[in-house]
Amino acid sequence: MTPQEKTEALRNNAADYLLRNGIILTEAEKQRIEIADFGLGMFETFGLRLFVYVNTERVCAKELILLPNQTCPEHRHPAFGGAQGKEETFRCRAGRVYLYVPGEPTENPACAPPEEHRKYFTARREIILNPGGQYTLYPDTPHWFCAGNEGALVTEFSTKNADENDIFTDPRVVRV
């Protein structure tokens, strides 16, 4: 399978997953589903598919689609351009998502990055989001998240989004 075919298959799979969960996209919107592999070349482990509904100077809304046990690497949303960093609320729509934030470390967390990547995951307090559960992250808060065994669908509501300004704990991560 060529890289283009793989990207198209991942987009189609994400669109089908959204549809199964009551979210209908137009054909043009389906082509805007982003495939983020964070430059690590390990999409099934560290990756994310996302669809942005709107991203204005004030607000952003998007869907985050994760494969089973897939992780979004630790990052934070710092201040930029004279504005505070992004404030975001995650609302789980399907599956289960494990969100990790600063605080008292959770004993026996559900997710653990591969050993060679663990030094880049410092947030250790586990927040479990099942369908209907939500959690708000404030600007510049280090966080990472991973899906449960069945994958996950998370709706994100936030202030202005500028992914290019995100700071990842792992310096090898590339996000454009």
Report yes or no on 59 lying in a domain: yes
- Cα 55 off chain centre by: 16
CATH of the domain at 136: 2.60.120.10
pLDDT mean by block of 10 residues, the chain; 176 residues: 93 97 97 95 96 95 98 95 91 98 97 94 98 97 98 96 90 86
Q: What is the pLDDT of residue 33?
A: 98
Rounded Cα–Cα distance for residues 68 and 144 (Å): 15
Whether 84 is in a domain gets the answer yes
The total number of structural domains that make up the chain: 1
Residue 20 within a domain: no
Which residues are within 8 A (CB) of 93 and not within 5 positions of it... i.e. 6 or more apart?
21, 23, 63, 131, 153, 154, 155
Range of the domain at 123: 34-168
Is 42 among the domain residues? Answer: yes
Is the residue at 3 inside a domain?
A: no
The two three-digit tokens of residue 51, written as one number: 């669809």
- Please check whether residue 10 lies inside any domain of the structure: no
Q: Is residue 175 part of a domain?
A: no
pLDDT at 144: 98
- pLDDT of the residue at 176: 62
Q: Which tokens is 57 given?
A: 């100077």
Residue 88, domain member (yes or no): yes
